[in-house]
Structure 1
Amino acid sequence: MSNESLNPSSLTTNGRLVAYSDSLKTGLQHGIEFTKLFDQLTDTKDANELLEASTALFDFQMDTEYVVYPHKYNANDYYLIFMSRLLELHSDKDAVLHSREDNLKADTLYQTFPNIDDKEEFHFEQRANQDGAFYVEQNSHQVIFSLNLEEKTMYFNSDTITKLFITEWSDKSDKDEVTNAVDLFIQFGKYLVSDFDFSVDFNMLDASNDKKYILANTNLSEQIMDKLFVATADNNLMLQNMDAAQGAFLELGNNIVFSLYKETTEDGTGRWVITVHDPEEQYSLFEIFNQFSFLKKWFLDNIDELQIGSKMV
């Protein structure tokens, strides 16, 4: 039984002094255990040790009843350090980790992507009644992805991919620089898969040919396909009806095929999906919109019907 759990009134004066000293020692030893994990987080060259330290620190409570540490990082900061260190271990350094002085606690940590906009700052946040942490753009609090180190899951948010990557960033940044920044997020997810066997849903950033981008809306108006037909014709392309399903496909050149169709699920219900096929599996839906402006405009003009579903809340 811990001395902190003893009833002081049951102790002699000397017993209280001893219990006080023991409680201080316990609190200080707890702090030392923290520093060991923190050193492991910041110094290790081993990916598994990095994940172990990050996961432990996220739930680590430094303060005890007798020892309180006034300057400490938030639990979210350990996720951010983990992300930066994992990218560093793989020699990806396009994301820059910054520290801003904060007198109320340890310094505030955040990331930037200099090639996009120095005013765009990113960090992790926790949400009430939700596990793990959410990587957000600090000003708008748009969630780019959720991350749970303990459960080994990562989910990209389709709504933010649309609003931030496809719309806001592309309007004020060089297209290649936007792609480079997004590629860094994708690489981070791939490192999670290769190093730790994470389950990662890349959503609109997934370039595999078997990926189906499922629309949140289960019913599309007839005008959607009509508008797509007009947009393709205006760009000297031909939208073609599919034989085996309700929908159409578009050949974009270089054996890249964009398709929109309705499929029947196992429970008998229908859903609309978009697929992208190319021989090298280099084109995600995000990259299609990045490369073909007429498809991007069609998508954004009809976003209420075409928004891709997401596992994000």
Structure 2
Amino acid sequence: MSNESLNPSSLTTSGRLVAYSDSLKAGIQHGIEFTKLFDQLTNTKDANELLEASTALFNFQMDTDYVVYPNKYDANDYYLIFMSRLLELHNDKDAVLHSREDNLKADTLFQTFPSVDDTEEFHFEQRANQDGAFYVEQNSHQVIFSLNLEAKTMYFNSDTITKLFITEWSDKSDTDAITDAVDLFIQFGQYLVSDFDFNVDFNMLDASNNKKYILANKDLSEQIMDKLFVATADNNLMLQNMDEVQGAFLDLGNHIIFSLYKEMHADGSSNWVITVQDPEEQYSLFEIFNQFSFLKKWFLDNLDELQIGSKMV
């Protein structure tokens, strides 16, 4: 039984003083354990030690009943440091970690991407009744991805990919700059898979040929295909009907095939899906929209029907 759990009224004056001293020592020792983990987080060159320290610090409660540390980072900051350090271990330095002085706690941490717009700031936030943390654009609080180090999961948010990457950023940066910044998010997810065997859903950023981008809307109006046909014809391409399923495909050249079709399931249910196939598996749906502006316009003009589903809440 710890001294903090003893009833002070049952102790002599001397016993109370000893219990007080022991509680202070325990609180200070607790702080020392924190510094060991923090040093491991900031200095280790080993990816597994990095994950171990980040996971422990996210759940670490520094304060005790007798020792309160006034200046401390938020739990979210340890996820941000983890992300920055993992990218650093892999020699990816396009994201810049900043600190801003905060009198109420340790410095506020955030990231920027100078290649796009260094006024855009990013950090992690926690959400009520949801595990892990959410990587967000600080002003709009748009969630780019969720991350749970303990469960080893990461999910990209299709909504933000559309609103931030495809729409807002395209108005202020060139295509290459946007691609470089988004590639960094993809690489971070790939490092989570290769280094720690995470389960990562890249959503619209997944370039594998077997990826099916499932539309949130289970029913599409007939006009969607008509509008796609017109858009492709205006760009000297031919939209072709698929033989075995309801849908159509488009040959974009260089053996890049864009398809939209209705996928039927054994239980009788169905989903509309988009697929992208190319020999080198270099083109995700996001990259298709970056490279082919007429498809991007068709997608955004009909977003209420074509929004990609997401595991994000």
Q: Which range, TM-score by smaller chain?
A: over 0.9
* 1:61 and 2:61 correspond: yes
Q: Quick one: distance in 2 between partners of 1:259 and 1:196?
A: 33
Q: Quick one: distance in 2 between partners of 1:283 and 1:6?
A: 64
State the SS of the aligned residue for 1:120: strand
- Which runs of structure 1 show a deviation greater than 6 angstroms over 4 or more consecutive aligned residues? none
- 2:207 equivalent in structure 1: 207
Q: Quote how far apart the aligned CAs of 1:131 are.
A: 0.2
- Residue by residue, what CA displacement relative to the aligned partner does 1:120-150 show, whole Å, maximum 9, x if unpaired? 0000000000000000000000000000000
Q: Quote how far apart the aligned CAs of 1:266 are.
A: 3.4
Aligned pairs (5 A) from 1:88-167: 88-167=88-167
- 1:218 equivalent in structure 2: 218
State the SS of the aligned residue for 1:146: strand
Q: Quick one: distance in 1 between partners of 2:184 and 2:292?
A: 22
- 2:78 equivalent in structure 1: 78
TM-score by length of 1: 1.00
Q: Quote how far apart the aligned CAs of 1:119 are.
A: 1.0
Q: Quote how far apart the aligned CAs of 1:118 are.
A: 1.3
Structure 1: where are the runs of 5+ without partners?
A: none
2:81 maps to amino acid:
I
Q: Quick one: distance in 2 between partners of 1:115 and 1:48?
A: 30
Aligned pairs (5 A) from 1:1-313: 1-313=1-313
- Residue by residue, what CA displacement relative to the aligned partner does 1:78-118 show, whole Å, maximum 9, x if unpaired? 00000000000000000000000001100000000001111
Q: Quick one: distance in 2 between partners of 1:157 and 1:267?
A: 28
Q: Quote how far apart the aligned CAs of 1:268 are.
A: 1.6
How many correspondences in the alignment? 313
- Residue by residue, what CA displacement relative to the aligned partner does 1:216-251 show, whole Å, maximum 9, x if unpaired? 000000000000000000000000000010000000
Q: Quick one: distance in 2 between partners of 1:40 and 1:118?
A: 29
Q: Quick one: distance in 1 between partners of 2:108 and 2:270?
A: 47
Q: Quick one: distance in 2 between partners of 1:19 and 1:267?
A: 66
Q: Quote how far apart the aligned CAs of 1:171 are.
A: 1.1
1:98 maps to amino acid:
H
Identity %: 88
Q: Quick one: distance in 2 between partners of 1:58 and 1:83?
A: 13
1:34 maps to amino acid:
F
